[in-house]
Structure 1
Amino acid sequence: MKIATRLTSLILVLLFFILNDTFAQKFGYVDTDYILSQMPEYNEAKGEIEKISKAWEQEIQNMYKSIEEMETSLQAEEVLLTKEMKDDRLKEIDLKWDDVKAYQKKVFGFEGLFFLKKKELIKPVQDQVFDAVEKVAKNHRLQIVFDKSGDLVMIYTDPVHDYTDYVLEELGLGDKNDVISNN
């Protein structure tokens, strides 16, 4: 019952804004995932990020492998070691495990090196897209521009409000044979 009341209220508010010209707003949407996929700079940045990620993953794998080899060696030599020697080796192995886990967190943890590198490489490309979206919005007098690829759920989109091609054109990535019409 509450949902129906809220939905009715929402519909009435939306109708008020739509019917009242003083509050009428023009809106559109773009698909930034599609736009980014058309940008060579973005694809290069993604490739660089993947290459860096794989290098860090390999480095961490090698660290794990080294510790596992230390454990295997300890097991093989265990009968020949005194209790003190065994305890020292176990402490060394534990320290190595702590080090590799700390390094992994430093690289791939929240706001770690990987996150910072990704931000460094992707942000300039995203800024280009946002600048182009802003220009398109101003040129077409849009007050609101939604991102179709974002978390905002768009159940229905009328292609007449899709400004993705305009943003691609603004970035110089539009299809030369494609004529944009906003009927």
Structure 2
Amino acid sequence: MKRILLLALFALGVGTLSAQNCIVVDSEKIFKSIDAYNEAITELDRLAEEYQKLVDAKFEAVEQLYQTYVAQRASLSASSRQTREEAILSQERAAQQYQEGIFGKEGTLMKRRLELIAPIQKRVFDAIEAYAKQAGAAAVIDSANNPTLLYTDPASERTQQVI
């Protein structure tokens, strides 16, 4: 009896799934078709490169302090060694905090990314939603960078229509 009930539920589920209208879009293609997005990515790349140079300079200064300390360590008293080591560690922590302040989740670069990209993402996602509603789709699958998407019927691909 349980087997018959399970088979009936399975058949009902398969029938429901086949009745669903599912479309596939490639959000990466959509984003790359928008000039404002490409300009924002270029600006973010430029900023990241500038910020990386600043971070590298801070860590380079720490490395120079350390190399100087290593060269002079033998001639320093125990208290002087400890003071210099603490200064080096303090500079290293400051450099790490600076790096986190720029590249971290709440950092300067992430804030700028949100300023530039979030409005474009909203427009794209709103366009996808509007198209899906117009097409009567029950679900939208994004095929961009999705390693679990094993197969899509080309007829369900709607990226160009959304663009």
TM-score band (shorter)?
0.7 to 0.9
What is the rounded CA distance, in whole Å, between the counterparts of 2:147 and 2:77 in structure 1? 64
Greater helix content: 2
Equivalent runs, 1:77-92 vs 2, <5 Å: 77-92=72-87
2:87 is the alignment partner of 1:97: no
User: Alignment partner of 2:23: what SS?
Assistant: strand
Cα 1:161/1:68, change in 2 over 3 Å: same
The alignment yields a C-alpha RMSD, in angstroms, of 2.5
User: What TM-score results when the alignment is normalised by the length of structure 1?
Assistant: 0.73
Higher relative contact order (CA 8 A, sep 6+): 2
Distance of aligned partners of 1:139 and 1:82 in 2 relative to their CA distance in 1, 3 Å threshold:
same
TM-score by length of 2: 0.81
Q: Which runs of 5 or more residues in structure 2 are unaligned? A: 1-6
CA 1:78–1:155: 2 relative to 1, 3 Å:
closer
Query: Could you tell me which amino acid in structure 1 is paired with residue 148 of structure 2?
Result: V
For the structure 1 residues 122 and 10, does the alpha-carbon distance in structure 2 shift closer, same or farther, using more than 3 Å as the test? farther
Question: Any idea what the Cα deviations from partners look like across 1:102-141, whole Å, max 9, x if unmatched?
Answer: 2222322344333332222211111111121122122222
Report the alpha carbon displacement of residue 152 of structure 1 after superposing the two structures with TM.
Answer: 7.3
Q: Which residue of 2 aligns with 1:148?
A: 143
Residue of structure 2 equivalent to 1:75: 70
Between the aligned partners of 1:151 and 1:109, the Cα distance in structure 2 is 25
1:10–1:62: structure 2 CA closer, same or farther, 3 Å change rule? farther
User: Does 2:115 align with 1:120?
Assistant: yes
In 1, Cα distance between the equivalents of 2:144 and 2:70?
A: 53
Please state if 1:131 is matched with 2:130.
no
Deviation at 1:11, TM superposition (A): 6.0
Choose the corresponding residue for 1:161, options 149, 156, 159. 156
Q: Deviations over 1:134-180 (max 9, x none)?
A: 22122222222211115473322112111111111xxxxxxxxxxxx
Instruction: Provide the C-alpha distance between the structure 1 equivalents of 2:97 and 2:158, rounded to a whole number of angstroms.
Output: 45
Of 124-133 and 144-153, deviating more is 144-153
- Structure-2 separation of matches of 1:146 and 1:131: 15
Residue 11 of structure 2 corresponds to: 12
Inter-partner Cα distance in structure 2 for 1:50 and 1:10: 52
Consecutive unaligned residues in structure 1, runs of 5 or more: 1-7, 169-183
